């Protein structure tokens, strides 16, 4: 095996720590890189919502792991890039009544954007992360393929769909062939100081108070109370701010209508939530833009049968996909519940990510 200098994006958690350790065991020259997002100094108060891989505790954990492994470790200041490329678009999307997935932008713009460029500056040939996904190169296409992780309960290929071919060519996912339990066992075997740490499932820059409170601090205009109305415009109640709701939501409406009601529309200009019955949040078709082609360089004009996920935790659903004037349209065999504009729809062909894009509308 050729010895390479490999950079590892170390968040201070168990997954990236085991990824670094496995690469050390394989004989690579490993360099740990941790993103500094905030705060600047230990004495500074972190902005509302800082936790997990964004806080000072992450730096300390990553340093301890690096010392245990005997590798170099650097903390890189990416605050400006993260604010511009992840946080600001996240807030802007909610202000437009959309439901974004900031992890997708972080993976594409920060980890395999700004951080990868820093890795290249120190002579690293690849950037590894602790994502549960797999990579292989198909000589026949020829294209890099992004495959689902072996552990389907932890698979993160959905949030990586937007990586371009040049980014996939420089990526490494050492945990893609492992289950989470195997990762924990490896951490214990290697004596890593993070072996017993619990992971966070939340957005890294949003506090336990929730994204509604975070947006209230960043975009007060989307956290102003307003009316909840039905399709005919009759007021049924009051909402706490449109940033606190998404299409298909039922919890938290506090509307007494004698039947379950769900968010079926968000009127940003009128600061109104539109509610309806469950059948009104089921959709057979959607259109997506900003499409990234992964295993499929292009869709045939007549369409192609694939499977798709309309959000990270959604099950795969059979669909047909075809190109329409620079966009991609999906038609599902069975209606999908709560298709939210701003989320990503990711299509799979077998284990491989075929393509994905941002949902614009559904009907």
The residues assigned a catalytic role are 106, 204
Coil vs helix vs strand at 109: helix
Residue 248 CA to residue 262 CA, distance in Å, equals: 5
Give residue 262's Cα distance to chain centre. 25
- What is the dihedral sign for C-alpha 318, 322, 325, 328? positive
- What is the dihedral sign for C-alpha 176, 179, 184, 185? negative
Q: Give, as one character, the DSSP assignment of residue 341.
A: B
9 class by beta-carbon count within 10 Å (0-12 exposed, 13-18 middle, 19+ buried): buried
- The answer to whether 49 and 55 are in contact (CB under 8 A) is no
- The answer to whether 146 and 135 are in contact (CB under 8 A) is yes
Residue 11 CA to residue 34 CA, distance in Å, equals: 6
H/E element, 25:
helix 14-25
Query: Which positions ≥6 away from 283 have C-beta within 8 Å?
Result: 332, 335, 336, 337, 339, 362, 363
């Amino acid at each position: 095996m050729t010895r390479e200098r490999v950079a590892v994006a170390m968040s201070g958690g168990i997954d990236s720590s085991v990824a670094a350790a496995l690469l050390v065991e394989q004989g690579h020259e490993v360099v740990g890189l941790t993103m500094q997002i905030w705060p600047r100094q230990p004495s500074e108060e972190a902005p509302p919502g800082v936790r997990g891989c964004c806080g000072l505790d992450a730096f300390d954990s990553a340093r301890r792991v690096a010392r245990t492994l005997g590798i170099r470790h650097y903390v890189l200041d990416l605050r400006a890039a993260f604010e511009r490329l992840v946080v600001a678009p996240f807030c802007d999307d909610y202000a437009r009544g959309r439901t974004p997935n900031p992890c997708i932008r972080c993976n594409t713009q920060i980890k395999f954007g700004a951080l990868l460029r820093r890795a290249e500056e120190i002579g690293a040939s690849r950037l590894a992360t602790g994502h549960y996904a797999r990579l292989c190169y198909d000589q026949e296409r020829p294209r890099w393929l992004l495959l689902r992780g072996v552990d389907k309960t932890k698979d993160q290929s959905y949030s990586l769909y937007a990586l371009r071919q040049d980014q996939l060519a420089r990526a490494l996912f050492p945990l893609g062939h492992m289950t989470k339990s195997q990762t924990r066992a490896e951490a214990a075997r290697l004596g890593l100081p993070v072996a017993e740490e619990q992971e966070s499932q939340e957005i890294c820059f949003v506090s336990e108070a929730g994204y509604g409170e975070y947006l209230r601090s960043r975009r007060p205009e989307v956290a102003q109370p307003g009316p909840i109305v039905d399709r005919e415009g009759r007021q049924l109640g009051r909402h706490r701010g449109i940033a606190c709701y998404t299409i298909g939501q039922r919890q938290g409406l506090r509307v007494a209508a004698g039947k379950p009601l769900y968010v079926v529309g968000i009127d940003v200009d009128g600061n109104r939530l539109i509610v309806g019955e469950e059948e009104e949040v089921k959709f057979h078709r959607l259109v997506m833009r900003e499409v990234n082609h992964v295993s499929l360089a292009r869709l045939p004009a007549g369409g192609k049968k694939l499977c798709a996920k309309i959000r990270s935790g959604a099950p795969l659903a059979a669909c047909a996909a075809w190109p329409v004037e620079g966009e991609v349209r999906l038609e599902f065999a069975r209606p999908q519940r709560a298709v939210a504009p701003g989320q990503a729809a990711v299509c799979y062909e077998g284990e491989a990510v075929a393509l994905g894009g941002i949902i614009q509308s559904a009907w």
